[in-house]
């Protein structure tokens, strides 16, 4: 779902490392990128902490510490481990973390969640919350193009927290 946003960011970079679960996903991500762009692709499961950490080390060795990261990691521990690993290099990193709507539930706290990331030196943490669309007919989840455009807007705005769609009222979620 983030392929379009990843391509937007990659087209403005000198070198790019793309990580996805499968080679097929990586091939899809690679399509549409400029041929002259240096791109490293790695199929790795972020849930395998050792393999994911090794893939990040390899990417940093090849390209250096990334200036910007767009991460959609569906569980908190691997996302925080990635952020901590990159912050440990001691160079500035813009970390855009895509989160599902559940992160904005009344029982969750985006402020509480970000405190772990904000404590990491050299890491500028940005939350991108994917919400829903509500109208007279009811509500629905965001379409793929709305997600892509919302993530691109969030990167352009560089805000600490950006909601794509809406997350209120909470009871209106599809």
pLDDT at 33: 78
DSSP state of 142: P
What are the residue ranges of helices labelled H in 97-143? 110-118
Number of domains in the chain: 1
99: tokens are: 């989160």
Tell me, rounded to whole angstroms, the distance of Cα 108 from its chain centroid: 19
Span 103-127, pLDDT tens digits: 888 778 888 889 999 999 999 999 9
Q: Angle formed by the axes of helices 144-157 and 3-10, to 10°?
A: 30
Q: For 3-42, how does the pLDDT look when each residue is reduced to its tens digit (9 = 90+)?
A: 788 888 887 777 788 888 888 888 888 887 777 778 888 8
Is pLDDT of 1 > 70? no
Sign of the dihedral through C-alpha 23, 33, 5, 13 = positive
Give the residue numbers spanning the domain of 34. Answer: 3-172
How are beta strands 123-130 and 38-43 bridged, if at all?
A: unpaired
Above 90 in pLDDT, residue 43?
Answer: no
- 88: domain CATH number is 3.40.50.720
* pTM for this predicted structure: 0.90
pLDDT at 2 exceeding the cut of 80 = no
Q: How far apart are the first and last CA of the chain?
A: 19
Per-residue pLDDT of 61-105, as tens digits, reads: 988 899 899 998 888 889 999 999 999 999 999 999 999 988 888
């Amino acid at each position: 779902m983030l392929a379009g946003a990843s391509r937007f960011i990659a087209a403005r970079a000198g070198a790019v490392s793309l990580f996805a679960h499968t080679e097929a996903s990586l091939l899809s991500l690679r399509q549409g990128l400029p041929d002259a762009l240096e791109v490293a692709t790695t199929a790795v499961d972020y849930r395998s902490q050792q393999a994911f950490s090794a893939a990040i080390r390899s990417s940093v060795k090849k390209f250096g510490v990334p200036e910007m990261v767009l991460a959609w990691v569906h569980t908190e521990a691997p996302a925080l481990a990635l952020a901590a690993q990159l912050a440990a290099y001691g160079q500035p990193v813009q970390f855009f973390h895509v989160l599902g709507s559940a992160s904005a539930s009344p029982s969750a706290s985006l402020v509480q969640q970000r405190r772990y990331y904000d404590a990491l030196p050299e890491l500028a943490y940005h939350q991108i919350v994917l919400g829903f669309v509500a109208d007279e007919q009811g509500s629905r989840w965001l379409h793929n193009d709305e997600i892509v455009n919302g993530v691109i807007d969030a990167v352009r705005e560089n805000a600490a927290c950006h909601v794509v769609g809406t997350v209120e009222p909470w009871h209106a979620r599809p």
